[in-house]
A and B are shown apart, each in its own frame.
Chain A
Amino acid sequence: MNYFRYQEYLEVYGLSRKLFAGYVLVSLGMLLAAAGGSWDITNHLLNKPETFFAPPHAVLYSGVASAVVGTVLVFSGSRSGDGATGKMIWPVKLVIAGVVMLISAAPVDFGWHSAFGLDGLLSPPHFVLVSGMIIGSAGALAGFAQSAKRLPSVLIVIAILPIWLGASGMIDMFSLPFSESEYFNFNPHPTLGVAVATLAFPFLISACLIGSSVLAGKRFGVLSMAGGAFIIIGVLTSIIPNSALTPTIPFYISSIIPIVAADVLLAFSRSRFSLYAAGTIVSLAFFMLYYPLITYTYNEVFESKVVWPSMIAQIYFEMIQNVFPLVAIPTAAMGILGALLIDRLARNKKYYNNIQELA
């Protein structure tokens, strides 16, 4: 009985057990690490007592441990030859490269702290760390995507989220004014920070959400699940830890509306226009989805106030009516670009699969 189940398992995923488990552990690990990182940023903003044994660090390092175990399994599975090894080579390489970067960032970060004391959000070791997260997560997603025509919904969400969160962290590094330390000032110019956030976040949201839908064959629910999971992580790591922001949870959760609307659009209409419309719709929610941290980026240009943690909501809601009309057009354009990218990748994958089948 178990034997037959095992066969079905292989057929569904097209991967050996080791490779499959490895990719899942890498994705989950990167997801935990990214969520822990986001929680850690919030705690730093709140100046909560910082020790190595702080809960966000526990989440972050559990994630790193999971990613390391996953990489060992991926490496061993790829060498055993019982998976679709011909196709696996570059996703495996990406996973290994990402996790090596993730691990190697730790001693470099320790050295950086020893030499320069307190650091900011953007520092060379942090850049390597977040790059590792993105590369490793992209490797795991590519591993899943190459091995099956249609992936289970939960697996898509688990594979997409760490890329989304990791890339968000990278954009945060180049847009938030959190990178001035005693020795270095890596803060972006306020206008540049706003430009980076306005262009990069909508593109990322569109690419990740439309990508999740396309990976699921545009069946309803997956895009909403991915968006919902992003919102839940935001609530848990950026809003609840700051008690002054808890009344704003209904506002933050309401961003599920455009996400579900885009999901409905893609599920019930297969036209290319719907794809671009869905990209536009989800991207227009970027200023709400990246609340509360985005307040710091736009405050630099629009308000120039001191953003105390208890005043984030006040400053954000003072700005929103001024900021949104100004950023709506570039935001929509970047949303369409994100959808275009996914459309192009999906066509390439389809073409590649057809060639494989013919061969």
Chain B
Amino acid sequence: MLKAIILIVAVAVALGVYFSLSLYVFPQLYQSIEARRPQAIVTDVSLSAPDIALGQALTISVTGTNNGDDADMQIVSVGFPNLTTTDNIKILKHNFDQTPMLIAPPGELSSSGYSDTDSSVLAQYTSIEVFSRPWEAGKTYSADIEVIPKTEGRFVVFIKSVALPHTWEQAHYPQDGTLDQQKEFVETYSVEVTKP
């Protein structure tokens, strides 16, 4: 009988310790650890010419880096608000880990407003997402993209970079400016497309 009581008490104490650790101590401990803070930056953007003739190609070179902690994923997005197709866009070269994605209407962009929940939106214009998954701290990637504008006038290019998970303000670049179709800040570049 005594043996049985000792056994029951020992098992009960062990389980009490275990569930206290698992349900209270460890959760509090691990939730107090700060999430990683990746810092997305676009370090260089260059356009091949300030103005081009209609039918000529424009080359955009873009370089991004992560100056913070490791990111699970970081995207450099190049948007073309004057375009709704992808047939006149070519990726000349890149050193990102994954294959770049071309998104044109009515395609779906997987997130908006730097949200950490599913907040996909439908694309209103064409964009290219070049990304590395994961994007380690300090790593730099670049891509050269060729595009042929389809109409005369001002041809606009939106550029941004977002590190995911988006744990703090510096996880996106730029910090302010124009809001794009995903309600996220972009840097704006443009060239003048003239008659040939």
Identify the A interface with B (CB < 8 A).
46-47, 49, 243-244, 247-248, 250-251, 254-255, 257-258, 260-261, 264-265, 268-269, 281, 285, 288, 304-306, 308-311, 313-314, 317-318, 320-321, 324
Contact = CB atoms under 8 A, between A and B. Distances in A.
Given A251-B26, A305-B116, A310-B35, A281 B164 contact: no
A93 to B, nearest CB: 41
Contacts of A309: 72, 134
Interface string B1-19: 0011001001100110110
B108 interface: no
Contacts of B23: 320-321, 324
B152 interface: no
B165 interface: yes
A313 to B, nearest CB: 5
A308 B14 contact: no
A247 B72 contact: no
Given A257-B14, A304-B118, A306-B116, A314 B31 contact: yes
Contacts of B35: 310-311, 314
A90 B19 CA distance: 42
Contacts of A320: 22-23, 27
Given A257-B17, A261-B15, A264-B7, A321 B72 contact: no
B134 A46 contact: yes
Given A268-B7, A320-B27, A261 B118 contact: no
A46 B33 CA distance: 21
Interface string B74-103: 000000000000000000000001100000
A254 B134 contact: no
Contact of B31 (A49, A265, A317): A317
Name which of B35, B70, B72, B134 has the most chain A CB atoms within 10 A of its CB: B72
A310 B134 CA distance: 10
A249 to B, nearest CB: 11
Nearest to A47: B133
Interface string B140-169: 000000000000000000000000110000
Name which of B23, B30, B97, B134 has the most chain A CB atoms within 10 A of its CB: B30
B32 to A, nearest CB: 10
B73 interface: yes
Nearest to B131: A47
A349 to B, nearest CB: 27
A317 B72 contact: no
A224 B31 CA distance: 30
Contacts of A251: 21-22, 26, 30
Name which of A49, A260, A261, A304 has the most chain B CB atoms within 10 A of its CB: A261
Contacts of B10: 261, 264
A49 B15 contact: no
A248 B3 CA distance: 36
A248 B116 contact: no
A314 B30 contact: yes
Contacts of B97: 47, 49
A258 B7 contact: no
A119 to B, nearest CB: 17
A342 B164 CA distance: 47
Q: Which 6 residue pairs are nearest across A and B when measured between Cβ atoms?
A: A257-B18, A317-B27, A308-B72, A47-B133, A251-B26, A308-B165
Contacts of A260: 14
B27 A261 contact: no
A318 B11 contact: no
Given A268-B7, A288-B22, 8 more contacts: A47-B73, A260-B14, A281-B11, A310-B35, A310-B72, A310-B165, A311-B116, A317-B27
A321 B21 CA distance: 12
A320 B22 CA distance: 9
Contact of A247 (B3, B33, B98, B118): B33
A308 B118 CA distance: 12
Contact of A47 (B4, B14, B98, B116): B98
A258 B14 contact: yes
Contacts of B36: 244, 310
20 contacts: A254-B22, A257-B15, A258-B18, A261-B15, A264-B7, A264-B10, A268-B3, A268-B7, A269-B4, A288-B22, A306-B116, A306-B117, A306-B164, A309-B134, A310-B72, A310-B165, A311-B35, A314-B35, A317-B31, A320-B23
